[in-house]
Amino acid sequence: MSEFSVYKNFDDLDQESKYLAHKAKDAANHAHAPYSKFTVGAALILDDGSVITGANYENAAYPSGMCAERVAFFAASAQHPGKRIMKIAVVAKKKGGKDLLPATSCGPCRQVMLEFETNQKKAIPIVMQADDNTWVIAPSAASLLPFSFTKDNLDAHHKK
């Protein structure tokens, strides 16, 4: 577990992580979460300093919704192709609420982040609140997905 940086206070995070977390909190206000009433915001920073945000957008047909992290990743890729993603922060709060709640990225978001990370050949630290008073910076998407499935698995299959 030592590869994860753990902080007992939000204020102990580095400046950039705090800045991204604040941006993510603003983004959560634009979520569309009438069903779960759980709003999530994500903010990532690109290698040119641009900050791209995302929020969760739910749908009456539940599986059609999308998580904040993937909205941010796909938006960054669509609007700033070729730029590397240097870090992402994700935060959550109750709809209409002020206080942040723990939200550690779901499995599918981890999988999507891993593919971006693999393609850009640079680890993407992920800042998130793991518990009421615990902030974590995972050093990479790979660290959140041991024994993961990647393009290499498909390539190995094609070679046989």
Q: How many residues bind ligand THU (CB under 6 A)?
A: 15
Positive or negative: CA dihedral 147, 153, 157, 160: negative
Is there a contact between 44 and 87 (Cβ–Cβ < 8 Å)? Answer: yes
Q: Which sequence positions are flagged as catalytic?
A: 69
List the one residue from 13, 28, 69, 112 that touches ligand THU (CB under 6 A): 69
List the one residue from 20, 67, 100, 126 that touches ligand THU (CB under 6 A): 67
- Check residue 72 for interaction with ligand THU (CB under 6 A): no
Burial 111-139 (b: 16+ CB within 10 A, else e): bbbbebbbeeeebbbbbbbeeeeebbbbe
Residue 92's nearest CA partner among 16, 18, 4, 29 is 29
- Check residue 103 for interaction with ligand THU (CB under 6 A): yes
- Check residue 102 for interaction with ligand THU (CB under 6 A): no
Q: For ligand THU, give the closer residue by CB, 45 or 144.
A: 144
Q: Which stretch binds ligand THU (CB under 6 A): 21-29, 66-74, 114-122, 150-158?
A: 66-74
Structure tokens at 139: 């050093």
- Check residue 105 for interaction with ligand THU (CB under 6 A): yes
Alpha-carbon distance of 4 to 144, in angstroms, equals 10
Interface residues with ligand THU (CB under 6 A)? 33, 36, 38, 40, 56, 58, 65, 67-69, 90, 103, 105-106, 109
